[in-house]
Amino acid sequence: MADGRELIYFDDVTPDRVPPPDTRDLPKVQTGSIMRYDVLTGEWVAIAAHRQDRTFLPPADACPLCPTRPGRAPSEIPASDYDVVVFENRFPSFAQDVDTDVPAEVDGDPLFPQRPAIGRCEVVCFTSDHNSSFGALPVERVRTVIEAWADRTAELSAMPGVEQVFPFENRGKEIGVTLEHPHGQIYAYPFVTPRSGQLLNKAAEHRQRTGRDLFDDVLAAERKAGTRVVREGTHFTVFVPAAARWPVEAHLVPHRPVRDFADLSGEERTELADLYRDLLHRFEVYFDEAPHPPYIAGWHQAPVHTGRDLTRLHLRLFSLRRAPGKLKYLAGSESGAGAWINDALPERIAQRLREVGS
């Protein structure tokens, strides 16, 4: 790109075209992210003040994720059309070129460790169609997105300082999406995220106590009960977890211990494309809001260096709504105390997700 950021095209078929250059006059991206350690929770908090000025809900004719076409200002993608595009975020929370000359402590106090937020943040555009959605993509395009996730996972995992790679999609204004074009992101964190850390601890405890893999046992229990299974394939199972936190939540888990997208076989990628697209469609029908139901899709992968034998790739898909037109507010108990209260019975939600797919 004109400011030195990397941009990568992923095509459904082998392309016969050469992408045009980025002709914009852009200043170099300035990143000032740091991380501070919360001694009360044991978690790192990224502080990225430069993100206050990022693009916010531009009109459709000025969308920075649409292809560059005659009659409109150049966008982040110089090509006049594309299948899938990945590029470095212009307003990253983590970056490879952040200033490393950061004091090791806040106020010189060892109680508050501080360090540079070394990592990387990328944007993944799923389609050039501004008015589409992931659930509306043909299954062949979903497979291309999976190939992009696999490629980027391998590349980002090899970068200095990266400890975990997390592809995700936020969908809907209720969730805080500032660009309506169908897209997701990939965060390459310089630490193991809190949820993954908790999972690793529980998986280690389970293995020490039973000698078995926690995911194997969860899958076996869900498949045996069947009441919360939404759909079962040869390589993956989709189910509503027994202790679901969100009123509408589903997990998609591989049957074998696949560590990340790069570890998936060709057959597994093909089945995953079908199952994931189908699950998004079920969410759309459930809320009767196709193609724009609000949701968060988070792909949890094994950390790059820690506990890779304790966890596996899996999807957590959930909506911030408890019913069509009704938000699930995270108020005092959830946001304040971290104690979740679900408004729906998981078995009933699984039954409804099965029904809307028939």
The answer to whether the beta carbons of residues 123 and 170 sit under 8 Å apart is no
> What would the DSSP string read from start to end of 154-175?
HHHHTSTT--EEEEEEEESGGG
Report residue 19 as tokens.
Answer: 């992408």
Active-site residue, selected from the candidate residues 50, 181, 183, 235 = 183
Residue 135: how many CA atoms within 13 Å on its side-chain side? 20
CA 165, 169, 173, 177 torsion-angle sign: positive
What residues have CB less than 8 Å from 203, skipping those under 6 apart?
213, 214, 215, 307, 310, 311
Report residue 319 as tokens.
Answer: 């909506």
Angstrom CA distances, 124 to 56, 63, 135, 303, 328, stand at 17, 14, 15, 21, 27
The answer, yes or no, to whether the previous bond of 291 is cis (omega within 30 of 0) is yes
The answer to whether the beta carbons of residues 190 and 114 sit under 8 Å apart is no
β partners of residue 171: 295
Report residue 297 as tokens.
Answer: 């899709």
The yes-or-no answer on residue 255 being catalytic is no
H-state helical runs in the chain: 139-157, 194-210, 214-225, 266-287, 337, 346-356
Residue 137: how many CA atoms within 13 Å on its side-chain side? 29
Angstrom CA distances, 130 to 62, 134, 280, stand at 11, 11, 18
Pairing of strands 295-300, 183-189: unpaired
- Which residues belong to the active site? 183
